[in-house]
Amino acid sequence: GENVEQHPSTLSVQEGDSAVIKCTYSDSASNYFPWYKQELGKRPQLIIDIRSNVGEKKDQRIAVTLNKTAKHFSLHITETQPEDSAVYFCGASGGSYIPTFGRGTSLIVHP
């Protein structure tokens, strides 16, 4: 089955800095890669996703890049703000629609 590795487990940045979270996957058949943000005590919520026919996708301050050859994808957050502090999960799924998730990255943005 699919295996998703996510790094780092904790990321601490100053407000205004950029943050990058990286994930690798094992199954070359995976073609959909979502990113979820989970605030403390809340449910995970989708913030951005990318499909395998696209190399990069942006939505305001967040962007995701995908390297299919290397089987890795990354989340980039620019101009971080304290409200970006949360746990971020990457996921990977293929045609089965059964996503596998990484272990999560705790992002801390210091004011």
Partner 1 sequence: NAGVTQTPKFRILKIGQSMTLQCTQDMNHNYMYWYRQDPGMGLKLIYYSVGAGITDKGEVPNGYNVSRSTTEDFPLRLELAAPSQTSVYFCAGGQGDTIYFGEGSWLTVV
Provide the 3-class DSSP secondary structure of residue 29.
coil
Tokens of 100: 């596998």
Which candidate, 91, 97, 108, places its Cα nearest to that of 5? 91
Could you tell me which stretch among 11-19, 66-74, 76-84, 100-108 binds partner 1 (CB under 8 A)? 100-108
Could you tell me which stretch among 12-20, 57-65, 78-86, 94-102 binds partner 1 (CB under 8 A)? 94-102
Residue 45 contacts partner 1 per CB under 8 A: yes
- Cα atoms in the 13 Å half-sphere on the side-chain side of 74: 13
Could you tell me which stretch among 19-27, 58-66, 69-77, 102-110 binds partner 1 (CB under 8 A)? 102-110
What is the smallest separation between the CB atom of 103 and partner 1, expressed in angstroms? 4
Residue 22 contacts partner 1 per CB under 8 A: no
Could you give the CA distance from residue 111 to residue 103 in angstroms, rounded to a whole number? Answer: 26
